[in-house]
Amino acid sequence: MAKINFGGVEEQVITREEFTMARAKEVLKNEVIAVIGYGIQGPAQALNFRDNNFNVIVGQRQDSTSWQKAINDKWQPNINLFSIEEAVAKATIVCYLLSDAAQIAIWPKISSKLTAGKTLCFSHGFGITYDAKTGIVPSKDINVVLVAPKGSGTSVRRNFLEGRGINSSYAVYQDATGNAHDIVCALGVGMGSGYLFETTFEKEVTSDLVGERGALMGAIAGIMEAQYNILRQNGHSPSEAFNETVEEATQSLIPLIAENGMDWMFANCSTTAQRGALDWSKKFKKAVEPVFAELYNSVKTGAEAERSITANSQSDYREKLQVELDQIKNSEFWQAGAQVRKLRPERNKK
């Protein structure tokens, strides 16, 4: 492992230079990897494994749009595309990439096919961490590991095609064969991870649920909408309000922060922006830290997991969810965004 200093805190990470693709292929040379689910993470991971020449098959419900999506990606029925149960039976490594709700529903149908010596790999710690609620309790004679890319399936695939890797966390929950650590590292490298950092199933799901509800989606959506609304209430046009709230952030500043860091951004903006950002960042931090503390506690106690499982188990949940999503889509804020995106110069290049 490579020792990396993160702002004074030393961590050990696994890079592709030390755990090479050649080593990954040697570890997995006799394995059949089944990617179960072809929705969010499934396509990216399966295609990356295939492009890296691993022995990979896909398991998906045949009466689903995702089955056709897999066929469109050149997976062939009865050759490397099978029903979920058949793929699990054929595989030695099962990447269980269904949604949390689907994992709960399908588990009774596949658990008996996870025979001794196989490896069950997750990309999210939900099912194992909240096993009392999910019922996902693997037998002790299989490996249970985790490789969790720190990005959406779209980002996992896009980074891979661009020759870069998205960072992933990894964990070993059960090591039945004695080589689960090598297997999980090989899977991480094979699916295109940039580097791997160690975690546990519980820490992964806790940080992930906090992140999704916080800075990655929930908090940023709330903060952006709040700023947009204040600008509109004070007479600014939708175009101006959206550009100052979202477009400048996503198209200019966030890519630069990703490339160079927030310290660089503060040092390379106007003195007016610099002074204001330094002063107001402290106010925002003070305002939102109590909300993040409340959020963390809700995740840690299992309340968020309980809410998610309860909601997804309702027969009309999809319909209710669509109503909420349509409210966002049809709001002036995001309708303004749709118009602004159409005006980006690259959209008009022909």
Give 302-316 as a DSSP string: THHHHHHHHHHTSTT
The pLDDT tens digits of the residues spanning 27-50 come to 999 999 999 999 989 999 999 999
Q: Is 204 contained in some domain?
A: no
* Residue 346: predicted pLDDT: 66
Transcribe 220-235 into DSSP letters.
HHHHHHHHHHHHHHTT
Domain range enclosing 272: 211-348
Assess whether 184 and 220 both reside in one domain.
no
Q: What is the mean pLDDT of residues 58-80?
A: 96
Assess whether 292 and 319 both reside in one domain.
yes
Q: How confident is the model at residue 326 (pLDDT cuts 50, 70, 90)?
A: very high
* Residue 350: predicted pLDDT: 43
* Residue 256: predicted pLDDT: 93
Q: Which of 199, 232, 267 is the last residue of a domain?
A: 199
Assess whether 222 and 194 both reside in one domain.
no
Q: Give the CATH number of the domain where residue 97 resides.
A: 3.40.50.720
Q: Which of 199, 220, 252 is the last residue of a domain?
A: 199
- 181 included as an active-site residue: no
Assess whether 161 and 289 both reside in one domain.
no
Residue 1 confidence (pLDDT) above 90: no
Assess whether 65 and 178 both reside in one domain.
yes
Q: What angle do CA 340, 212, 194 make, to 5 degrees?
A: 90
Q: Is 206 contained in some domain?
A: no
- Across the beta sheet with 9-15, the strand order is 2-6, 9-15, 193-198, 166-174, 143-149, 119-122, 93-96, 33-36, 56-59, 81-82
Assess whether 11 and 153 both reside in one domain.
yes
- SS3 of 137-192: the string is CCCCCCEEEEEEECCCHHHHHHHHHCCCCEEEEEEEEECCCCCHHHHHHHHHHHCC
The pLDDT tens digits of the residues spanning 229-270 come to 999 999 999 999 999 999 999 999 999 999 999 999 999 999
Assess whether 157 and 217 both reside in one domain.
no
* Residue 149: predicted pLDDT: 94
Q: What tokens appear for 45 in the block? A: 């991971």
Q: How far is CA 268 from CA 88, 246, 262, 263, 274, in A?
A: 53, 20, 10, 9, 8
Q: Is 31 contained in some domain?
A: yes
The pLDDT tens digits of the residues spanning 123-180 come to 999 999 999 999 999 999 999 999 999 988 999 999 999 988 889 999 999 999 999 9
Cβ–Cβ < 8 Å for 154, 180? no
Assess whether 229 and 301 both reside in one domain.
yes
β-pairing verdict for 93-96 and 33-36: parallel
* Count of domains for the chain: 2
Assess whether 296 and 252 both reside in one domain.
yes
Q: Is 205 contained in some domain?
A: no
Whole-number Å distance between alpha carbons of 257 and 180:
36
Q: Which of 176, 199, 222 is the last residue of a domain?
A: 199
* Residue 6: predicted pLDDT: 79
Q: What is the mean pLDDT of residues 91-101?
A: 96
Q: Give the CATH number of the domain where residue 262 resides.
A: 1.10.1040.10
Q: How far is CA 292 from CA 149, 203, 224, in A?
A: 23, 16, 17
Assess whether 227 and 308 both reside in one domain.
yes
**Predicted TM-score of the model (pTM):** 0.88
Average pLDDT, the chain: 94
Residue 301 confidence (pLDDT) above 70: yes
- Phi/psi for 140 (5° steps) reads -75, -10
Given the residues 45, 55, 98, 124, the one annotated as active site: 124
Strand partners, 146: 122, 171
Assess whether 189 and 224 both reside in one domain.
no
- Phi/psi for 58 (5° steps) reads -120, 140
Q: What is the mean pLDDT of residues 68-78?
A: 97
Residue 198 confidence (pLDDT) above 90: yes
Among 166, 153, 138, smallest CA distance to 98 is for 153
Q: 257: part of which helix (H) or strand (E)?
A: helix 254-260
Provide long-range contacts, Cβ within 8 A and 24+ apart, for 248-254: 249/224, 251/344
Q: Which amino acid is at 119?
A: T
Q: What is the mean pLDDT of residues 94-118?
A: 96
Assess whether 266 and 127 both reside in one domain.
no
Q: What is the mean pLDDT of residues 278-293?
A: 96
